[in-house]
Amino acid sequence: MNYKQHTIKAPVTVSGIGLHTGVVSNMTFTPAPVNHGYKFQRIDLPGQPIVAADVDNVVDLSRGTTIEQNGARVNTVEHTLAALVGLEIDNVLIQLDGPEPPIMDGSSIEFVKALIEVGLQEQNALRNYFELTEGITYKDEARGVEIVGLPLNDYRLTAMVDYNSPVLGSQHASITNMNQFEREIAPCRTFCFLHELEALHKQNLIKGGNLDNAIVIVDRVVNDDELSLLAEMLNKPKVEVKETGTLNNTELRFKNEPARHKLLDLMGDLALIGRPIKGQILAARPGHAANIGFAKRIKRAIQEASIQSVPVYDEKKPPVMDINQISATLPHRYPFLLIDKIIHLDENTVTGVKNVTMNEPFFQGHFPGNPILPGVIQIEAMAQTGGILVLNTVENPEDYWTYFLGVDKCRFKRKVIPGDTIIFKCELLAPIKRGIAKMSGQAFVGGQLVMEAEMSASIVKKNA
């Protein structure tokens, strides 16, 4: 499991027809900065709008997952996203000159090959994992669907399918390490049953579907007239089948390839949560609607946790920024460089660490015989933590100054003394406008809130 974020070293393009739209498109994976996440860009549309891979942007689940934002729509995103998740790539802009990623062979393997060929690039930021601390469950009793997420210091998934079919029977598939993805999950192709094929065709779907990019499961006897109609539907001169099995007698890559593909779909759909997960996911009879319903529950848990959470400091993990990187970003120096580490940084929040020691100069006078960290020093340390967050929004942060503008609603809950480790958490209250940032800040010692405040600051380019 990677702890650092990754992107790709250079752009790479794949091309092909879309499964449902039947439109030929070119899709280019391009490198993206830290905390960018997964975003699609419709470069064929005016203004080249961007669609974030976010569960809140899901608008259709007709045999695939479709997202829409800024007036642009991207169909069938799950196979593309599964490839990124399986390779533990965090930040990519996916440029698309059509409405749907190419279906390729119906799996994720061609995307995986392209991404591996161009190479992965480690980035100087920790992955922003969401760790399940309690069970999260989604049920659809009418369909016999259940998905459960359980606490685990890793990411593992299991999918079980049961179609009451003599051809498939009950199947299950698991992934316990992402290193297995390329070999065991990525090559597994999409599938449907023969009785679904005509219905999908009437719904104006699978316009790009054929026997080279999908498996058709045949679980009943098919006569010659029906085979002729199927050949016409699939633009084939002829199709054939044994008494039961797969149309055109397509060989499965694994005995449980359908279950493995359902696992692939699950991985891709859960990518829409927007953060890598630590947990064990168990899915019985999953489908896109259930996957998205479950993903929304996890996202809601993330939102609730961000409101209530006390930052956790694990000394064994490498920091996002060490003291040398902090010094290169902030202009402060002794005795006013007050932050030792940054352990979390994303678009809206930052977490910093200050180790309080008796050697600091202010303890000579505050107070002799009863050393207490001055409140103004706590506020300044929190402001420096927030300064890192603000400077993270611009390129070349060393070219900018941040100035403290104000403090409001400041409260001190308990004293801080030498030997304490303070964890500062700052979060933007609103997007930065005209160089003005407003943040809420909290300070914790031993998991207890010791200080909180709202702050405002300005960001100004040097020599401006």
Q: Which residues are catalytic?
A: 288, 366
In-domain check, residue 314:
no
pLDDT score for 21: 83
- Does 87 lie in the same domain as 126? yes
Residue 318 lies in a domain: no
In a domain, 137, yes or no: yes
Position 313 in a domain: no
413 and 351, same domain (yes or no): yes
Residue 156 near residue 180, CB atoms below 8 Å: no
Residue 164 CB contacts under 8 Å (≥ 6 apart), including other chains: none
Are residues 264 and 235 part of one domain?
no
pLDDT recorded at residue 169: 80
How far apart are alpha carbons 127 and 401 in whole angstroms? 28
**Residues in contact with 24: Cβ distance below 8 Å, sequence separation at least 6, in sequence order:** 15, 16, 17, 18, 98, 102
Has residue 161 been placed in a domain? yes
pLDDT value of residue 168: 78
pLDDT computed for residue 124 by the predictor: 80
For position 227, what pLDDT does the model report? 64
Per-residue pLDDT at 368: 85
Strands 277-284 and 130-131: parallel
Selection from 280, 279, 283 nearest residue 262 by Cα? 283
Q: pLDDT by residue for the chain (464 residues), tens digit each?
A: 888 899 999 999 999 999 878 899 999 999 999 889 999 999 999 999 999 999 999 999 987 999 999 999 999 999 999 999 999 999 999 999 999 999 999 999 999 999 999 999 999 888 889 999 899 999 999 989 999 999 999 999 999 998 777 777 899 999 999 999 999 999 999 987 776 666 666 666 556 666 667 787 776 656 666 666 666 666 666 666 655 567 656 788 999 999 999 999 999 999 999 999 999 999 999 999 999 999 999 999 988 876 667 888 988 889 999 999 999 999 999 999 999 999 999 888 999 999 999 999 989 889 988 999 999 999 999 999 999 999 998 888 888 999 999 999 999 999 999 999 999 999 999 889 989 999 999 999 998 899 999 999 999 998 86
Q: 247 and 276: one domain? A: no
Residue at a domain's end among 277, 307, 337:
307
First to last CA, the chain: 44
Which of the listed residues 235, 252, 269 is the one where a domain comes to its end? 252
Q: What is the pLDDT of residue 163?
A: 76
For residues 334 and 414, state if they share a domain: yes
Q: Quick one: 159 and 236 in the same domain?
A: no
Co-location of 181 and 197 in the same domain: no
Give how far the C-alpha of residue 368 lies from the chain's centroid of Cα atoms, to the nearest Å: 51
Q: Is the pTM of this model over 0.85?
A: no
Residue with tokens 């049920």: 139
Q: What CATH number is given to the structural domain containing 356?
A: 3.10.129.10
> Both 146 and 239 in a single domain?
no
Where residue 279 sits, what CATH number does that domain have? 3.30.230.20
| C-alpha radius of gyration, the chain, whole number | 26
Q: Are 195 and 268 contained in the same domain?
A: no
* Same-domain check for residues 204 and 300: no
Given this model, what pLDDT does residue 179 score?
97
Same domain assignment for residues 370 and 279:
no
Do 202 and 295 lie in one domain? The reply is no
**What pLDDT was estimated at residue 256?**
93
- Alpha-carbon distance 58 to 50, whole Å? 14
**Nearest of 254, 76, 104, 58 to residue 175 by alpha carbon:** 254
Residue 206 C-beta-side C-alpha neighbours within 13 Å: 24
435 falls within a domain: yes
Is residue 372 situated within a structural domain?
yes
Alpha-carbon distance of 294 to 138, in angstroms, equals 5
How many domains is the chain built from?
3
Whether 317 is covered by a domain: the verdict is: no
Domain ranges, residue 83: 4-186+258-307
Q: How far is CA 399 from the centre of its chain?
A: 31
Which run of H or E residues covers position 264?
helix 257-270
